[in-house]
């Protein structure tokens, strides 16, 4: 899922985004709640109409953003982050204007019903890494209690509500969280609290533990992941859905993903290159422009460079998922994985 945090995928227009062939995009309840606000979203009839987007939208609950604020990760924020966690919900100070707000599981669902997202995420407790077993256990238990309240609040049958499995890197807590979440019979299941700084091996190990418990006939979503390698490895372990700012954020910084690994397009070695970013890519950027031209745009600090790079990275990720789906349908995923690693160099 390309990340469209504030009702837009950064640096590209709707038509440019559609050409990269996404199936669904992601928005964020925390950011949309603060700006433009629920009154504006309600007035325009929800996020689909507001941003003129006909395809599905998944909205994160905003819980991760709130707890990121508590960890001092409010990059770009104008006000000091303050967060107070209670049984009823989480009180936080807006990074925009310093105003106080209170997210409850019920409010987060109600806001997402106004947003009109096709898939909603419940408010959960996302602890940092590393974290003690005691703190992680408390997060698991509170997340389950909040999920029950979220499910009771949900009114619209056409909106899906996923459960979120927490537990940090503790196998016993991951199992407990997964079992209790599955008991609630959600529309889909997410694995949260990973890709937050732990080693990739820990992420894969916890994913394996959880996937063994989650139903095979429901979507399984690994939140906030990740690199092309992370995606291939996680699909191999049974994951269906991903989101990450990596393709768009890296594009704006001049790092492009290709069949053969990452490319720093600003590097001097591309100055006279007539080659496309990726000879195997069918995106608008690769069909029309050279590495030399993109390098020039970035070094000249032209906005168009960010746009062309973003188009390419989004298409690369969507092509990767297309090839993965095709390989699974043809029962040759393991050979695809081997071929992927034979070309892709980290």
Of 60, 124, 275, 282, the catalytic one is 60
Q: Distance between CA 104 and CA 328 in Å, rounded?
A: 40
Q: Which helix (H) or strand (E) holds 246?
A: helix 246-252
Q: How far is CA 120 from the centre of its chain?
A: 13
Bridging pattern class, strands 255-258 and 261-264:
antiparallel
Using an 8 Å Cβ cutoff, are 305 and 289 in contact? Answer: no
Residue with tokens 């419940």: 122
DSSP state of 268: G
User: Residue 42: which residues within 8 A CB-CB, separation 6 or more?
Assistant: 114
Tell me the sheet residues that pair with 3: 26
Tell which residue, 51, 53, 78, 77, has the closest CA to residue 65.
Answer: 77
Q: Distance between CA 257 and CA 228 in Å, rounded?
A: 8
Q: Is 60 a catalytic residue?
A: yes
Of 243, 275, 278, 282, the catalytic one is 243
Residue 6, classified by CB atoms within 10 Å of its CB into exposed (0-12), middle (13-18) or buried (19+), is middle
Q: Distance between CA 210 and CA 177 in Å, rounded?
A: 9
Q: Distance between CA 57 and CA 63 in Å, rounded?
A: 18
Using an 8 Å Cβ cutoff, are 90 and 103 in contact? Answer: yes
Q: Is 187 a catalytic residue?
A: no
Give the strand order in the sheet containing 100-103.
83-85, 90-93, 100-103
Residues belonging to the active site: 60, 243
């Amino acid at each position: 899922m390309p990340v469209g945090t504030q009702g837009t995928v950064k640096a590209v227009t709707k038509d440019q985004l559609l050409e990269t062939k996404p199936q669904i995009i992601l928005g964020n309840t925390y950011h949309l709640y603060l700006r433009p606000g629920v009154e504006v979203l309600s007035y325009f009839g929800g996020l689909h109409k507001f941003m003129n987007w006909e395809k599905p939208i998944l909205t994160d609950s905003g819980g991760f953003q709130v707890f990121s604020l508590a960890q001092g990760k409010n990059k770009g924020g104008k006000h000091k982050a303050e967060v107070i966690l209670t049984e009823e919900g989480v009180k936080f100070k807006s990074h925009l204007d310093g105003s106080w707000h209170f997210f409850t599981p019920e409010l987060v669902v109600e806001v997402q019903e106004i947003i009109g997202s096709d898939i909603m995420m419940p408010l959960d407790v996302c602890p940092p890494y590393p974290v003690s077993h005691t703190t992680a256990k408390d997060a698991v238990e509170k997340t389950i209690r909040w999920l029950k309240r979220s499910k009771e609040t949900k009114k619209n049958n056409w909106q899906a509500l996923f459960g979120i499995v927490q537990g940090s890197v503790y196998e016993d807590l991951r199992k407990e969280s997964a079992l209790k979440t599955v008991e609630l019979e959600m529309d889909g299941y997410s694995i949260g609290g990973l890709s937050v700084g732990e080693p990739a091996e820990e992420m894969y190990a916890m994913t394996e533990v959880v996937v063994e418990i989650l139903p095979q006939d429901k979507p399984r979503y690994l939140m906030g992941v990740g690199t092309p390698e992370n995606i291939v490895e996680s699909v191999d372990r049974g994951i269906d859905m991903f989101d990450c700012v990596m393709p768009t954020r890296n594009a704006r910084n001049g790092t492009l993903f290709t069949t053969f690994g990452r490319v720093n397009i600003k590097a001097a070695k591309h100055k006279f290159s007539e080659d496309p970013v990726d000879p195997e890519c069918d995106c608008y950027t690769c069909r029309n422009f050279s590495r030399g031209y993109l390098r020039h745009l970035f070094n000249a600090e032209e906005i168009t460079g960010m746009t062309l790079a973003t188009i390419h990275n989004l298409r690369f990720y969507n092509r990767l998922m297309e090839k993965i789906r095709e390989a699974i349908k043809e029962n040759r995923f393991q050979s695809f994985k081997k071929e992927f690693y034979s070309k892709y160099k980290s």
